[in-house]
C-alpha cells in the first residue's frame, strides 16, 4: 500500500476556508459577493438587509420591479422565510433540492418587499454547489442573488466573466470554477394544483412531470391578474452583437458583413467568419453548459451579426431556446 502524504494540502485547505470566511464576513457587513452556483454565478447580498439588496439592484442596473431569488442551505433554514410549503413543493424539494429549481412561495414578514418587488411571494432555492452551500452556512443568512451580470446581458458562468462585467463593483468574487449546468434555474409556481413553469431552466419540464404529472408553461393565464414573474422580459441575455435565430443555411448578407455562427452540432461553417459549436455530439446538457461562454466569445470576435441555430425543443433545449430567443429580442436595434 502506498502511504498518501496530504500534509502539503493543508495550506491550500486553509486558504479555501479563509476565502469562505472572508466572504461570509463581507455579507454579514452588508457587502456584495459574487458566488458560484451550479447554474450561473450569483451576485449575493444578505436578503434581510435592505441596503445591501438595494446595492444589488444598483450594481446590476436592474429595475426594482424585477424580484430576486433567495438562496438558503436547507429546508430548515427556509422555514423562517416562507409562511407555507405546499405539499407539491415539498415533493419537488425532496426530489430536486439542492439543485437548479426555484419555487415561488408565500413570503414571511422577514423578507423585505424590495427583494420580492412588493409581491407577497418569494422565489427560493437551495443551490447545488459546495462553495455556495458552505458560504450560506458560514454566513448563516438567506442570500438574495440574481445572476451576476449587468441587467439584460449574458449571465456569467466563470469567475472571470463576473470580473469582466462587474469589476470592482463587487466586494469579492468567490471562484468556484466553471458552472456545471450553465443556464439558470427553472422558476416554478406551485401554489395551484398544477405546477406552472415560469422560466425554463436547469431542471427540465420532463423531469418535473415525472414527479408531479403534467405541467403548464408561461405566465398566469389571467390577463388581469398580477404578472407571475415580472423579470421575464422578452429581451434578455443579450450580446452586444446583433443575434438572430435561423434554422439552417445562411441569411442574406450585405457586402462586408462578418457573420458568426452559434451552432448546436457540428456543421460546415462555410460563409461564417467564426463558429462556435455547443455540442459536437448533440448533447443538450453539454450545450447548456457551453451556451453563455460561447455567446461571449462570439460577441468578442468583432462580428457584425451572430446567427444562432435553435436546438430541439425538449429537455434542456427549452431553456437554451428560451435564452436564444431573448438574446435575439434583446439585440434588435433600439
Q: Is position 147 an interface residue for Mg ion (rule: CB under 5 A)? A: yes
**Side-chain-facing half-sphere of 254: CA atoms under 13 Å:** 2
C-alpha cell at 59: 450594481
Smallest gap, in angstroms, from Cβ of residue 198 to ligand TXA? 6
Q: Is position 165 an interface residue for Mg ion (rule: CB under 5 A)? A: no
DSSP state for residue 8 in the 8-state scheme: G
- Order of all β-strands in the sheet with 69-71: 172-173, 33-35, 42-46, 143-144, 69-71, 121-125, 101-106, 186-189, 196-199, 216-217
Q: Is position 157 an interface residue for ligand TXA (rule: CB under 6 A)? A: no
Identify which of residues 226 and 282 has a Cβ nearer to ligand TXA in the complex. 226
Q: Is position 228 an interface residue for ligand TXA (rule: CB under 6 A)? A: yes
Question: How many Å apart are CA 245 and CA 325, to the nearest integer?
Answer: 7
The closest residue (CB) to ligand TXA is 231
Only segment of 8-16, 145-153, 156-164, 257-265 that touches Mg ion (CB under 5 A):
145-153
Smallest gap, in angstroms, from Cβ of residue 161 to Mg ion? 13
Using CB under 6 A, which of 112, 178, 230, 242 touches ligand TXA? 230
Q: Is position 288 an interface residue for ligand TXA (rule: CB under 6 A)? A: no
Identify which of residues 104 and 291 has a Cβ nearer to ligand TXA in the complex. 104
Smallest gap, in angstroms, from Cβ of residue 108 to Mg ion? 24
Residues 65-124 that bind ligand TXA (CB under 6 A): 66-69, 100, 102, 104, 116, 119, 121-123
Cis ω for the linkage preceding 98 (within 30 of 0): yes
The CA-based angle 219-59-288, given to 5 degrees, is 50
Give the pairing type, strands 196-199 and 216-217. parallel
Amino acid at each position: 500500500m502506498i502511504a498518501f502524504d496530504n500534509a502539503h494540502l493543508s495550506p491550500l485547505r486553509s486558504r479555501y476556508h479563509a476565502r469562505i470566511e472572508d466572504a461570509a464576513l463581507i455579507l454579514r457587513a452588508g457587502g456584495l459577493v459574487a458566488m458560484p452556483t451550479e447554474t450561473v454565478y450569483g451576485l449575493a447580498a444578505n436578503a434581510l438587509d435592505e441596503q445591501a439588496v438595494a446595492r444589488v439592484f444598483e450594481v446590476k442596473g436592474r429595475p426594482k420591479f424585477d424580484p430576486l431569488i433567495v438562496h438558503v442551505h436547507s429546508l430548515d433554514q427556509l422555514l423562517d422565510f416562507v409562511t407555507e410549503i405546499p405539499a407539491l413543493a415539498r415533493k419537488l424539494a425532496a426530489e430536486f433540492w439542492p439543485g437548479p429549481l426555484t419555487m415561488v412561495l408565500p413570503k414571511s414578514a422577514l423578507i423585505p418587499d424590495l427583494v420580492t418587488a412588493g409581491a407577497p411571494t418569494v422565489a427560493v432555492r437551495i443551490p447545488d454547489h459546495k462553495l455556495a452551500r458552505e458560504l450560506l452556512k458560514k454566513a448563516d443568512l438567506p442570500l438574495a442573488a440574481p445572476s451576476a451580470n449587468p441587467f439584460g446581458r449574458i449571465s456569467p458562468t466563470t469567475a472571470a466573466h463576473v470580473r469582466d462585467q462587474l469589476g470592482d463593483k463587487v466586494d469579492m468574487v468567490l471562484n468556484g470554477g466553471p458552472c456545471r449546468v450553465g443556464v439558470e434555474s427553472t422558476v416554478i409556481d406551485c401554489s395551484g394544483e398544477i405546477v406552472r413553469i415560469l422560466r425554463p431552466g436547469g431542471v427540465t419540464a420532463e423531469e418535473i412531470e415525472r414527479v408531479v404529472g403534467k405541467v403548464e408553461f408561461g405566465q398566469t393565464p389571467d390577463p388581469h391578474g398580477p404578472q407571475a414573474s415580472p423579470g421575464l422580459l422578452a429581451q434578455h441575455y443579450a450580446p452586444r452583437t446583433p443575434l438572430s435565430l435561423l434554422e439552417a443555411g445562411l441569411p442574406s448578407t450585405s457586402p462586408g458583413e462578418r457573420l458568426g455562427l452559434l451552432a448546436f452540432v457540428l456543421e460546415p461553417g462555410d460563409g461564417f467568419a467564426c463558429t462556435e459549436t455547443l455540442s459536437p455530439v448533440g448533447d443538450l446538457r453539454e450545450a447548456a453548459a457551453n451556451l453563455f461562454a460561447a455567446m461571449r466569445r462570439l460577441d468578442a470576435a468583432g462580428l457584425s451579426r451572430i446567427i444562432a441555430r435553435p436546438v430541439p425543443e425538449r429537455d434542456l433545449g427549452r431553456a437554451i431556446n428560451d435564452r436564444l430567443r431573448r438574446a435575439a429580442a434583446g439585440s434588435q436595434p433600439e
